[in-house]
Chain A
Amino acid sequence: MAIDTAALRPSAGIPSTTGVASRRPPRRSAKRMLRKLPVRLLITLLVVVEVYPIVWLVLGSFKTQNEFFAKPTWALPESFSFDNYVAAWTTGNLANNLLNSILVTVPSLFFMIVLGVAAAYALEVMVWKGRNTVLLAFVAGIMIPGQMILVPLFTVYFRTGLTNSLWPLIITYTVMGLPLTVFLMAAYFRAIPREVFEASTLDGAGMVKSFFLIGVPMMRNAIITIALVEFFSVWNDLLIALTFTTKSELATVQVGLLNFSDEYGSTDYGPLFAAISINVVGMLVLYLFLNKQIMTGLASGSLKG
């Protein structure tokens, strides 16, 4: 259970202070520069490889169709006009897709967190027979591919007419996120001594009350971490969104992006690049502000073996 150590250490993404204890005797600086050169080159190459595609993408979003075909591929755009963005936003339906994605992601995350945190509390803090079996049933869900529940859910959603709304997505995302939420929250609760909760019940407060008064506030950081992890998996999902949205008005960002090139027959590269750029830059901004939490969150969220 690697999670016990990885998930609960808030500083996992920050270099530990003990990591630099091995200082070697100082050498002459020229020799040191030369010794470090291969590493420097490697790192520069690494950063260029990671960053260049994004830069090329954003530059491309300002090019006209003509520039894409007549100019060399690394040429800079001739002008910085936002025509492509306007086209992507309106005729490309990006505005509508973004709205759908928000309308799906926010309720999904809300239900997932509320249900998952309460369940983890009942499974980890409270003591009763059979709780380990139930926890196992939840955790086993992490491994099962979405394909295994697609067909029955589609049948039911279709029969009940839900496919004309965003509810199939919200319901499915909520449930698909539950196993990981329950599992991680249980691990977080495990780290808190049970006496804390016992003490709170001494003055007569019930377990439900102490869940809201003590459990939830103590878990605030953990909840934010899980919300971040689940945000990316819901926002970036294609399989569920593609299966359960039968109408183009209900398409999420990912489905819209996938259909972008089909819509025009011969692809309009400018608007396509603009649409991808909006997606990428949006995530980039989020990442600029929250990169520490995202890195530790995603890393701990996956070490569930």
Chain B
Amino acid sequence: MQSVLGDKKAILLLLGPALLVYTLVKLVPVLWSLGLTFYTGNPLGGFEFAGVDNFVRFFQDPQALEALGFTIKYALVLSVGQILLGYGLALMYVFVLRKASTFVRTVVFFPTVLPTVAVALLFKSLFAVGQQDGPVNAGLEVFGIPAVDWFSTGDGTFTVAILMELWRSMGFFAVLLYAGLLDIPEETLESARLEGATGWRLVRHIVLPLSLPVLLSSVIFSVNNTLKVFDTVLALNNGGPGNETTPLTLLMYRTVFNYSDYGYGSTIAFVLTIMCFLVTLFVFRSSRRDITKN
């Protein structure tokens, strides 16, 4: 029987094509990019060996540091928002709405499937239609708050980007965490209730520890995605005003395709990759520590 399951020809036939394209189009380019980080220049002008100059340059380049700062700020604020709102909604679905939650869940999830570019252009108009007020400013004025010129400042654009992403993704994280909450055995909750744990105490001492695994998976997913933010800031305000909302991804794109520095661009991409890797590793390790502690 083992010989059939280990049939070499069948393995080659089934796995071969996928492995081949994957190697050629993913693994080789990753190594190639890695090699490029030690060079400067582009295919037309020629490459020049630069050693670790690109990395030194990265940490002295005010533009790169600004992009790094923006990326971290964006990922941090958005991830915290996504997890908090998502968890809040998930708790509401499970403990308040119970069976009636299907409709709300479906409606709140909907924006997740919309293209980022379309949502960004929509939100851009919600906050300002050209020089005119959008509904948001009009709404603010109803309450006597003066209209805000959202896209003339980095902070304004950042605020719109965060609000837009939360609008789009909170339903998604709610469903993600909701599935995790449903895994908690009803008997556990029931016995905790019998011992007098209700409301906040029930959540804090029973629900939260038991949903920790799915919560941590969500954190990894959220941070990994928010670190790679690209379409949102590009479509919203083109990384502007100036470079104030330009993350590493957009800086990398411009370095390569506007300034034709393939080596430095690859260095920026590499820094981003390392950040994603470190975050995943860090969350994994801290989760392991938590489990052993309990």
Chain A positions within 8 Å of B, measured between CB atoms, are: 2, 5-6, 12-16, 18-22, 39, 42-43, 46-47, 49-53, 56-57, 60, 68-69, 72-74, 115-116, 118-119, 121-123, 125-128, 134, 137-138, 141, 143-155, 159, 171-172, 174-176, 178-179, 182, 194, 197-198, 201, 206-208, 211, 232, 235-236, 238-239, 243, 253-254, 257-258, 260-261, 266-267, 269, 272-273, 276, 279-280, 283-284, 286-287, 291, 294-296, 298-300, 302-305
- Are A73 and B132 within 8 A (Cβ)? yes
- Are A236 and B115 within 8 A (Cβ)? yes
Cα of A226 to Cα of B255 in the assembled complex, Å: 34
Cα of A72 to Cα of B132 in the assembled complex, Å: 9
Known: A178-B22, A261-B121. Is A151-B36 also a contact (CB below 8 A)?
A: yes
**Does B73 have its Cβ within 8 Å of any Cβ on chain A?**
no
Q: Which residues of B contact A179 (CB under 8 A)?
A: 22
Number of A-B contacts (CB under 8 A): 305
Cα of A3 to Cα of B250 in the assembled complex, Å: 32
Known: A127-B2, A151-B33. Is A207-B183 also a contact (CB below 8 A)?
A: no
Indicate which residue in B27, B113, B125 contacts A137 across the interface (CB closer than 8 Å). B27
- Are A280 and B114 within 8 A (Cβ)? yes
Q: Which residues of A contact B111 (CB under 8 A)?
A: 50
Task: Give 24 pairs: A residue, B residue, CB < 8 Å, sorted on A.
Answer: A2-B217, A15-B98, A15-B99, A20-B99, A50-B111, A122-B11, A126-B14, A143-B277, A145-B249, A148-B269, A149-B26, A151-B36, A152-B29, A152-B32, A172-B25, A238-B235, A239-B230, A258-B235, A266-B130, A269-B125, A269-B129, A279-B115, A298-B113, A303-B214
Chain B 60-83: CB-based contact to A (< 8 A → 1; otherwise 0): 000000000000000000000000
- Are B94 and A150 within 8 A (Cβ)? no
Cα of A149 to Cα of B277 in the assembled complex, Å: 16
**Does B239 have its Cβ within 8 Å of any Cβ on chain A?**
no
B61 CB to nearest chain A CB (Å): 17
B104 CB to nearest chain A CB (Å): 6
B1-49 contacts to A, CB under 8 A, are 1-2, 4-8, 10-11, 13-15, 17-19, 21-22, 25-30, 32-33, 36, 43
The dominant DSSP class at the A interface is helix
Indicate which residue in A149, A208, A286, A305 contacts B33 across the interface (CB closer than 8 Å). A149
Q: Which residues of B contact A238 (CB under 8 A)?
A: 116-117, 230-231, 234-235
Q: Which residue of B lies closest to A18 (CB)?
A: B186
Cα of A154 to Cα of B255 in the assembled complex, Å: 14
- Are B25 and A175 within 8 A (Cβ)? yes
Known: A15-B101, A141-B26, A238-B117. Is A125-B5 also a contact (CB below 8 A)?
A: yes
Q: Which residues of B contact A141 (CB under 8 A)?
A: 22, 26
Cα of A72 to Cα of B21 in the assembled complex, Å: 55
Tally of contact residues, B, Cβ under 8 A: 106
Cα of A118 to Cα of B14 in the assembled complex, Å: 5
B199 CB to nearest chain A CB (Å): 13
- Are A126 and B6 within 8 A (Cβ)? yes
- Are B125 and A207 within 8 A (Cβ)? no
Known: A22-B189, A50-B111, A235-B115. Is A299-B179 also a contact (CB below 8 A)?
A: yes
**Does B190 have its Cβ within 8 Å of any Cβ on chain A?**
yes
- Are A174 and B121 within 8 A (Cβ)? no
- Are B276 and A143 within 8 A (Cβ)? yes
Indicate which residue in B14, B96, B167, B183 contacts A119 across the interface (CB closer than 8 Å). B14
- Are A291 and B171 within 8 A (Cβ)? no
A-B pairs with lowest CB-CB distance, top 4: A119-B18, A149-B29, A122-B15, A147-B269
